Amino acid sequence: MTNTQQDAALLAAADKLADDFSLRAAVFDRERRLAQDASDAMAEAGFYRLFVPAHLGGLEASPVVSAQIFERLAQGNAACGWVAFIAATSGSALASIPETTAREIFTHPNTMVAGVFAPTGKATVNADRVNVSGRWQWGSGTQNADWVLGGCLVHDGADKPAQHMVLMPKARLDFLDTWYVSGLQGTGSTDYQAADLDLSTNPIVGYGGNRPPRRALYQFPQFTLLAIGIGAVALGIARASIDELVRLAQSKRRINSNATLADRAHSHIEVARAEATLRSARAFYFQAIAEAWEVAEAGSKVSVEQRRDIRLATTHAVEASIKTVDAMFTLGGGSAVYADSPLQRHLRDVHMTSQHIMVAPSTLETVGRLYLGVEAQTKTL
């Protein structure tokens, strides 16, 4: 299968699953996690191996196409888009461990990896073993996964512990019932923990000089791929909110009026503004990613300047999406406030995307400093 055929098949699968998942949104929210069959369907479609190395059976897909997949899934159901991008990004960690270990983990094309980058765990290396303990928050999709990442400070006798992620079997972790939240309820982003977990040293990502192959996808840092996914989900939610408002506007009427919401001049103005806001942000977002991908395909590393532009475009996409959803929710009036209204769910979900540190207001400070030629911390760009 050529890359073009592969991309077309992936996007077609995203279209189908997004439509299917949109009908199950209330169930996912109520259960506070994705049903296993929904997660399995995304695995079968290839979404969880988008960033897994090709020599392991992964797809090493373009971040442009991957972002379109996450966006389309989120248009159907935000939680599905979110879990898909978390799993895809987590899968890229298999490029930075020994190949023998990676093959032992990625035993099947539908293998799912998920987890948390924050180093809230401790890993102690002793000869060829590592002992892991810790508790991690925001474990999106981890209850559906086969292997789970946990960020740790790794102690190996060096003067200063180093930060790495450790791959742990899901079956050996404890999951805590903490995911009671306002939005993205279906992501199952609950806490999980490990206590004196004994593993080989090989599942430590990037440890001992293990680095990803010098191929196009891995010229994108993991933090860049992570941020791209957040922007894609926000854009998908915003598109869904406009579509829902347009649908609602055809029949919604004020009391004692024959005019629908679609007939009102204020609606015309607000929908026009929303389209312009969303499409402009989306164009910048995909332009920044496509330009960096072109450089990566030519064999060069994605530069700080390109990462800067991607992060700005991503944060702007989230902010524009929130503005769009807020406007559609307001325009929906009383109909939008009920729990069974998609507009209400979109409002909750899109505001949750903005709480991720990868698109926090501090990212604007960082990229602003870079545009102005002021020294800035770029490690997490």
CATH code for the domain in which residue 134 is found = 2.40.110.10
Question: What pLDDT does 365 receive?
Answer: 96
- Last residue in a domain, options 62, 96, 130: 96
Same-domain pairing of 323 and 249? yes
Q: Are 233 and 353 in contact (CB under 8 A)?
A: yes
Same-domain pairing of 260 and 282? yes
Q: What is the CATH number of the domain that holds 79?
A: 1.10.540.10
Query: In terms of C-beta density within 10 A (0-12 exposed, 13-18 middle, 19 or more buried), how is residue 228 classed?
Result: buried
Same-domain pairing of 287 and 342? yes
Q: Strand 147-155 relative to strand 113-126: parallel, antiparallel, unpaired?
A: parallel
Euclidean distance between CA atoms 281 and 242, whole angstroms = 15
Q: Is residue 341 part of a domain?
A: yes
Q: Is residue 378 part of a domain?
A: no
Look at the chain and report how many structural domains it folds into: 3
Same-domain pairing of 130 and 74? no
Q: What 3-state class would DSSP assign to 253?
A: strand
Same-domain pairing of 251 and 321? yes
Same-domain pairing of 196 and 226? no
Query: In terms of C-beta density within 10 A (0-12 exposed, 13-18 middle, 19 or more buried), how is residue 10 classed?
Result: buried
Same-domain pairing of 236 and 358? yes
Nearest to 114 by CA among 103, 126, 105, 122: 105
Give the pLDDT means over successive 10-residue stretches in the chain (381 positions).
89 97 96 98 98 97 98 98 98 97 96 96 94 98 98 92 96 98 98 96 92 94 96 98 97 84 95 98 98 96 96 98 98 94 97 95 95 93 90
Q: What is the CATH number of the domain that holds 274?
A: 1.20.140.10
pTM beyond 0.85: the answer is: yes
Q: Is residue 249 part of a domain?
A: yes
Same-domain pairing of 365 and 320? yes
Euclidean distance between CA atoms 17 and 358, whole angstroms = 27
Euclidean distance between CA atoms 229 and 234, whole angstroms = 9
Paired tokens of 204: 């430590």
Domain interval for residue 147: 113-208
Q: Is residue 185 part of a domain?
A: yes
Same-domain pairing of 50 and 146? no
Euclidean distance between CA atoms 267 and 195, whole angstroms = 56
DSSP states of 296-330 as a string? HHTTPPPPHHHHHHHHHHHHHHHHHHHHHHHHHHH
Nearest to 93 by CA among 205, 210, 200, 213: 205
Euclidean distance between CA atoms 175 and 192, whole angstroms = 4
